[in-house]
Structure 1
Amino acid sequence: MKIVVLGGGESGFGAAYLAKKKGLNIFLSDKGLIKDEYKSLLDDADIEYEEGNHDEDRILAADWIIKSPGIPKKADIIFKINQKGIRLSSEIEFASEFTDAKIIAITGSNGKTTTTSLIYHLLKNDDLKVGLGGNIGKSFAKQVADENFDYYVLEVSSFQLDDIQNFRPHISLLLNLSQDHLDQYNYNYEEYALAKFRITENQENDNFFIYNKDDEMSMKLLEKLEIKAKKIPFSLKEKLKEGGFVMDDKMVVKIDNEFSMKIEELSLLGNHNIANSLAASIAGKLLKIKNESIRNSLMTFQAVEHRLQQIAEIDGVKFINDSKATNVNATYYALESMKQPTIWIVGGKDKGNDYTEIEDLVKRKVKAIVCLGIDNQKIIDFFQDKKELIYSTSSMEEAVKISKSLAQSGDAVLLSPCCASFDLFDNYEDRGDKFKKEVLK
């Protein structure tokens, strides 16, 4: 069988490595340049590859093509592959065909990384043999090739779900939906939401689907879709007969024997993280993890880097890195959790943002807005009659300096950009790292 992998990053190399290990005929193609670390890994594994070009004749002669999630589905080569009717899969689809391990897959517009890491921590803490992959950690395919795990906890994006055929998690979680990546879904919110729901499309009645009962779009689509998996909800707003909910100052999970713990004991702050903790606890209960072990995991979990991560407190001012907030809804959660007057650093590559969702929070919680991007005009235009103090900057150094000059003891400086990072930075990690560096300087 001829396998072609498109993209030579973590996901692409992992898929190619697994194909090679399974004795398949493998060729990797990247239209851009492949990083040196992956080139040396490809050479070591004796995998044939090309960079800076797509050999279309060779690609279109493949039996199965594995696409890295970063390649847009509107790319010319993808159009040609689809026209020829060649099977086109994501790495998660490809790797799942070669493992019998139970898969716990997590998607949603926000909180994926935190919840995936939390569930992984929960399983690891209970001494289960578990791998972490998907959009986070090491390549899922590479782990399937080299490891012998009983479980995989995978963070899964809509782009990965676009390219599945048989992917069937034992437990799937859809945390929430908000308008994100609409440029890739014809600016149609429902089309994007349906892509997320594909996480459950191959599940059967011996599988589980955990969903957010408070999420409007999820509930709307649940009425239309036929889901075979056993559906288990969580809610911050209502008491449930089965599932996870909040009662008084406790979070409660009703599955088999009841689990509960005080919200103040959770290591993660903010309402959104109570929801994430409920979802993770439901997954833990379904996997028969003992209550005491779940409690211990929820108390000891460390927050994910670049997600509401406190960098330092300088002269009474807290500096918080939320660089992973690349959409308005993620920033909503960040602003909602702020307890002190906030200098807010915002901006980057706009993905069709509508700032009305956070308008009220900005009025109540934000002391000054520091825009950080090549083009800050849209943010300035929206907030100029709502906030007196708005500054425009085009470098992290400048943004941090201005923020520090505006902040007084008892304030917070929050980097929560609402936008993608590609105008000034390599990715959101690079943006967060540069923020940390400037703050610590």
Structure 2
Amino acid sequence: MRDTEFKKIAIIGAGESGTGAALLGKHLGLDVYLSDAGKVSEKYASKLRNAQIDFEEGRHDLDRILAADVVIKSPGVPDKAPVVKKALVAGKKVISEIEFASLYTHKPIVAITGTNGKTTTTSLTGHIFLKGGVKTGIGGNIGKSFAELVIDDHLYEAYVLEVSSFQLDGCYTFAPDVAILTNITPDHLDRYDYKFENYIASKFRITQAQREDQVFVYCADDPVTVTYMPKFLIRARKIPFSAQVEPEEGAYLVKEIEFIVKIKNMETMVIKEFKLKGTHNAYNSMAAAIAARIHEIRQEKIKEAFSDFEGVEHRLEHAGTIGGIDFINDSKATNVNSVLYALGSIKRPIVWIAGGVDKGNDYSALHPLVKERVKAIVCLGKDNSKLLDEFTGMVNVIADTHSMEQAVKTAYSLASKGDVVLLSPACASFDLFENYEDRGNQFKYWVRQL
């Protein structure tokens, strides 16, 4: 662990990230104060009380926050929040929990970001590392926070982390040994002044502090990544993956279920028959394989991990078959590009459940697939007006629903034997649900009730 100048920390937001930072701070013997403008859920409140951490809810005590040496901002708190602005005006350093936790470990880190595929790539990479005998802490934007993992730093030999743009916005010295950028498509533009360039810059922060002896893994087929790479100073060794070209070093797809990994000074590896289907999952698999090879995990262990990896919950997850109708839970698809993957991967007629909190979406990219494959759309949200305006007249039936029970029953009534009911919302979940997991779990529950 490193010595830092921090003796007193203030944390804004009491979700997984903020609570993890508080617990790590307490573990390190720091003076910890946590503040949340809303109500702290009992799950996290009990953790804070058990650790005897001072916290407040329903308000921000600015004097106490500004008395800290550093302010740690949870990813759900926007930079425009008044309390964040006041901290910055007062000259306080505002960092993310990822940045904070990284100060207290020297273990190798694989960090994965991107608009789509980061959860699958993180889960798969972690699975390969564990299969390869590496004691691995897997978390970040999924599962446990990085900070809470670091409390048990002695138990781990490496970390595999999913890192969101919101977390990267508060990173300055975070330098993962392997940084993976899966792709960049418009998302979360409501948090970036509706400027795509701001969101792109946020994603590239994953490599900003990397050194020459570290690795930056990227998709050579992603036009945004390739176009913007020259605009950023990238010191790390660049290793691409591609389904279209064979790079000198990196990974490339030979056919749908086979790819090759070439790393300098290492034996070439061929991966066949990996479980995850679709080109998007081939990309995820190639990125994970590069990280595993860089970490010198044995080939047979990597191949074994690919053969038994079951995929990620809420990502194109089969939720049941009722009356010959397949129900697919893709609740994690919170942006247009994720839905594009989902619609493109299903060859049968689709009843599509979509909606939630729109993040400034442009749905035009979906039009061809919707016209070709979607027989009905079930809108699910408090306000479905944008979806209704966008797609009315494009499909035979479009329905307006305001609960998961109503959406599932409506979709079932519109589907026929051989069809697929696809929950792939393209939107955030916070209007009707706690998060995308809650939305996906409710979908699976109501499917079981049919």
Range class of TM-score, shorter chain: over 0.9
Matches within 5 A, 1:197-346: 197-249=204-256, 250-255=258-263, 256-262=266-272, 265-346=273-354
Of residues 101, 115, 128, the one that matches 1:109 is 115
Q: Does 1:184 align with 2:184?
A: no
- Alignment partners' CA distance in 1, 2:217 and 2:22: 32
Give 1:91 deviation, angstroms. Answer: 0.7
Give 1:244 deviation, angstroms. Answer: 0.9
Q: Does 1:26 align with 2:32?
A: yes
Q: Does 1:401 align with 2:413?
A: no
Give 1:136 deviation, angstroms. Answer: 0.8
Give 1:221 deviation, angstroms. Answer: 1.1
Q: Does 1:193 align with 2:200?
A: yes
Of residues 126, 134, 139, the one that matches 2:140 is 134
Q: Which amino acid aligns with 1:200?
A: T
Confirm or deny: 8 A CA contact 1:271 1:337 kept in the other structure.
no
Residue aligned with 1:13, SS: helix
Q: Over residues 45-66 of structure 1, what are the superposed CA-to-partner deviations in whole Å (9 max), with x where a residue is unaligned?
A: 1211111111101111211111
Q: Over residues 178-217 of structure 1, what are the superposed CA-to-partner deviations in whole Å (9 max), with x where a residue is unaligned?
A: 1001111111101101100000000001000000111111
Q: Which runs of 5+ in 2 are unaligned?
A: 1-6
Q: Over residues 239-287 of structure 1, what are the superposed CA-to-partner deviations in whole Å (9 max), with x where a residue is unaligned?
A: 222111112342111112111123xx22112211111001101111111
Q: What is the percent sequence identity of the aligned residues?
A: 52
Equivalent position of 1:118 in the other structure: 124
Give 1:411 deviation, angstroms. Answer: 1.1
- Alignment partners' CA distance in 1, 2:14 and 2:41: 8
Equivalent position of 2:4 in the other structure: none
Q: Which amino acid aligns with 2:45?
A: K
Residue aligned with 1:288, SS: coil
Confirm or deny: 8 A CA contact 1:239 1:247 kept in the other structure.
no
- Alignment partners' CA distance in 1, 2:138 and 2:124: 11
Alpha-carbon RMSD across the aligned residues, in angstroms, is: 1.2
Give 1:328 deviation, angstroms. Answer: 0.4
- Alignment partners' CA distance in 1, 2:323 and 2:270: 39
Q: Over residues 131-188 of structure 1, what are the superposed CA-to-partner deviations in whole Å (9 max), with x where a residue is unaligned?
A: 0121111121122112421101110011111101211100000000010011111111
Of residues 350, 358, 361, the one that matches 2:366 is 358
Residue aligned with 2:360, SS: coil
Equivalent position of 1:80 in the other structure: 86
Q: Which amino acid aligns with 1:64?
A: V
Matches within 5 A, 1:28-177: 28-148=34-154, 149-177=156-184
Give 1:377 deviation, angstroms. Answer: 2.0
- Alignment partners' CA distance in 2, 1:363 and 1:257: 46
* TM-score, scaled to structure 1: 0.97
Residue aligned with 1:93, SS: helix
Q: Does 1:379 align with 2:405?
A: no
Residue aligned with 1:344, SS: strand
Give 1:6 deviation, angstroms. Answer: 1.3
Q: Which amino acid aligns with 1:174?
A: L
Give 1:111 deviation, angstroms. Answer: 0.9
Residue aligned with 2:412, SS: helix
Residue aligned with 1:78, SS: helix
- Alignment partners' CA distance in 2, 1:83 and 1:70: 20
Q: Given the superposition, is the C-alpha separation of residues 375 and 38 from structure 1 closer, same or farther in structure 2, using an over 3 Å criterion?
A: closer
Q: Over residues 342-378 of structure 1, what are the superposed CA-to-partner deviations in whole Å (9 max), with x where a residue is unaligned?
A: 1111111111111111111111111211111222222
Greater CA drift, 237-246 or 277-286: 237-246
Give 1:339 deviation, angstroms. Answer: 2.2
Q: Which amino acid aligns with 2:16?
A: E
- Alignment partners' CA distance in 2, 1:388 and 1:40: 50
Greater CA drift, 419-428 or 86-95: 419-428
Greater CA drift, 348-357 or 249-258: 249-258
Q: Which amino acid aligns with 2:234?
A: I
Confirm or deny: 8 A CA contact 2:105 2:153 kept in the other structure.
no
Q: Write out the 4+ residue segments of structure 1 that deviate beyond 6 Å after TM superposition.
A: none
- Alignment partners' CA distance in 2, 1:339 and 1:259: 32
Confirm or deny: 8 A CA contact 1:180 1:327 kept in the other structure.
yes
- Alignment partners' CA distance in 2, 1:174 and 1:217: 11
Residue aligned with 1:3, SS: strand
- Alignment partners' CA distance in 2, 1:146 and 1:285: 26
